[in-house]
Structure 1
């Protein structure tokens, strides 16, 4: 597979796994679950403000990696010493962010699919609330946030398309000329490229965006009974 066609970093295959490798990998998974429980107890004993996310053994079992999240910096030097005495192995504690935690643990998003960060994303890129506005999404945090509590990474994927299409269409509230007269845009459907327009006689029509003529039109709404 050409590297240019890959969306994630390619890993080098060393060799085919042997039966011994598979047994060792299974034993590591069992040891990781045990180490997780022990580390939780140690964190409580040392009264540290940290949340343990995952434990990972290196393949040879010589080193144990403990991933955790915390609001600020944590002095875990005594914890490292305690864990080293308990496991008799090299110990490394790694503080990660909430997005990295979601990538490590995995899960399903509100779309029903596996998390993007777990499935194919190789790195995190900035996402902001403006992207949600561009896509006319609810700005309620719980509606546009993922399992990590941060804005959906997928907001970034189609943002450039939304911006490009919106630039080519009249904006909501813009005054345009239609085949039925001058009117004000009430709704814009960027997928069907249609507009809902209120005319000067207060009637509403739905037209194709291509039928709209943009310009500096004067909008003078009037009621039929006033004519």
Structure 2
């Protein structure tokens, strides 16, 4: 699907056939929530009661609002909502009972919820679209002003309020920034109320977007909204090498996907003995050097000879640990292990020349077939053989026709 900028007419996307009411900002941004409780109402449902809605603004910014019972609003409608000063314009992304569940999850206070004024008029939409078109130019100009003032910060995104009375500038910085002179410069340049909001590097990459090392769009810019802290313990549980260049994402922090499978690894490692286990054998002490979660094995090696590694199944390992606890020294690891199974690569997956071998064998077969056919042609074309064959044919015809 193309982006809304390329498949649109009159600033309304036509490729997704929602005519500007898809509520996603553009075709590649975070998807709207599917309302699986749209046809279910609570026992206390009353048409005259005020209803709560979720409204989406630029990128992943959402907020909850209350509407009057007389307003008929559905998902995808563009609405004008109450703001701290003036009004804002957004797209309704969720309605019904699922909104209350989301509000309870995010611990929203009902007394602080703002109102929905009305459905956006064509004039509201035109003003909103005009200010949205200015955001990229304003961001570049804001970066230039902050650089001229020598401030250690980066303006990564700009968002205008629906009526243009306020502009919010999102920035990243490692330290504290003095905004006194900066806000004066911004107010003169943009002629609007200025709101500065500091965000983290993960939120910055979510707003900017990009392609990850996996070849797909970044999770934070497509669907991930809950940015949990990631530490190196998640990599250790998954037996990954602590390499910052491989574990870091485009934001410079540890990849969020390290948390996706962490719970599975933690549950699997619950059955494993401690990686600090030391076995007393007749050849000396052996310590754990590697853990294979999928095969449920732990590899051990001797302290004196760390070249040879020995895989031991965790269930057999627990028995050996119990013997050591009783004071029994176990046999050497090479005697305890079964005979090594010879692995045969049937499909020759690791062989780089596998295709060359097949072509050579095929060429040999073809050459052999060609030589055989040439020999047969020579025999047939030989005049001596032709005379013998003709004589034999005459004899056969005389016998058949006396």
Query: Into which bin does the TM-score normalised by the smaller protein fall?
Result: 0.7 to 0.9
SS at match of 1:216: helix
Structure 1 residue 137 corresponds to structure 2 residue 240 = yes
| Cα distance in structure 1, aligned partners of 2:223 and 2:271 | 32
1:142-153 equivalent positions in 2, closer than 5 A: 142-153=245-256
| Cα distance in structure 2, aligned partners of 1:117 and 1:155 | 13
Preserved contact between residue 132 and residue 138 of structure 1 (Cα < 8 Å): yes
CA RMSD of aligned residues (A): 3.5
Partner of 1:216: 322
Partner of 1:45: 148
| Cα distance in structure 2, aligned partners of 1:57 and 1:131 | 39
Structure 1 residue 68: deviation in Å? 0.9
Structure 1 residue 184: deviation in Å? 7.7
| Cα distance in structure 2, aligned partners of 1:147 and 1:175 | 40
Partner of 1:54: 157
Structure with the larger RCO, 1 or 2 (CA within 8 Å, 6+ apart): 1
Gap regions ≥5 residues in structure 1 = 4-9, 177-182
Residue 76 to residue 186, structure 1, CA distance change in 2 (3 Å): closer
TM-score by length of 2: 0.45
Structure 1 residue 158: deviation in Å? 1.9
SS at match of 1:168: coil
Preserved contact between residue 298 and residue 312 of structure 2 (Cα < 8 Å): yes
- Bigger radius of gyration among the two: 2
Partner of 1:167: 270
Structure 1 residue 60: deviation in Å? 2.2
Preserved contact between residue 63 and residue 89 of structure 1 (Cα < 8 Å): yes
Structure 1 residue 152: deviation in Å? 1.5
Preserved contact between residue 202 and residue 251 of structure 2 (Cα < 8 Å): yes
Structure 1 residue 87: deviation in Å? 1.7
